[in-house]
């Protein structure tokens, strides 16, 4: 019985991990990647095109309000703040005249880059709330992963203690 429980818990944990990875890839393909492209863009038009795709995805998936937190709300997990920043950046891009001086264009693009990307460790990464790829199911994913891991560990210890290796 312990062996079956351990196997089922390990399968459950592996499925949890696969879904987390899949959701992360899906978010990257439909939103995060476009935010990175917008932040790296050298023209207002290019930045606007990619940022508009990301903002539309946020609206379509209702990533406009709430927190990704599991236990308590922290400012870095505030989806509304993040979304409002994206919308404000898109509005800035759209309000920049096509014949704007190069200095204005550079300033707008620099501001956009600072809003969309974090430059820690010398590599730029997209600024977004942790756990956004599984929102609004953050609490369910946390519980599923934790329970699967704990059951797998307890059952594994039970199997190990019952084995001939002791």
pLDDT at 120: 65
Question: What domain range includes position 17?
Answer: 2-162
pLDDT one-digit tens code per residue, 140-161: 999 999 999 999 888 888 878 8
Place of tokens 């704990």: 150
pLDDT at 155: 84
pLDDT at 166: 47
Considering the entire predicted model, what is its pTM?
0.89
The two tokens of residue 134 are: 């599984």
Quick one: which of 66, 83, 39 has its CA closest to 136?
Answer: 66
pLDDT one-digit tens code per residue, 39-76: 999 999 999 999 999 999 999 999 999 999 999 999 99
Instruction: Yes or no: say if 134 and 141 are a contact pair by the CB < 8 Å rule.
Output: yes
pLDDT one-digit tens code per residue, 101-134: 999 999 999 999 999 999 766 788 999 999 999 9
Place of tokens 């946390």: 142
The number of folded domains in the chain is 1
Average confidence score pLDDT of the chain: 93
């Amino acid at each position: 019985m312990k062996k079956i429980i351990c196997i089922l818990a390990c399968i459950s944990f592996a499925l949890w991990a696969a879904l987390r990875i899949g959701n992360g890839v899906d978010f990257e393909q439909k939103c995060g990647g476009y935010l990175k492209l917008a932040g790296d863009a050298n023209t207002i038009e290019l930045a606007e095109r990619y940022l508009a795709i990301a903002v539309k995805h946020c609206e379509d998936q209702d990533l406009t309000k709430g927190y990704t937190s599991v236990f308590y709300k922290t400012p870095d997990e505030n989806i509304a703040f993040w979304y409002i920043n994206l919308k404000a950046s898109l509005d800035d891009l759209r309000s920049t005249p096509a014949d704007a001086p190069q200095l204005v264009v550079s300033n707008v693009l620099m501001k956009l880059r600072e809003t969309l990307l974090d430059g820690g460790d010398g590599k730029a990464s997209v600024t977004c709330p942790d756990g956004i790829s599984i929102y609004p199911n953050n609490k369910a994913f946390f519980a599923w992963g934790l329970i699967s891991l704990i059951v797998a560990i307890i059952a594994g210890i039970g199997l190990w203690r019952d084995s001939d290796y002791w």
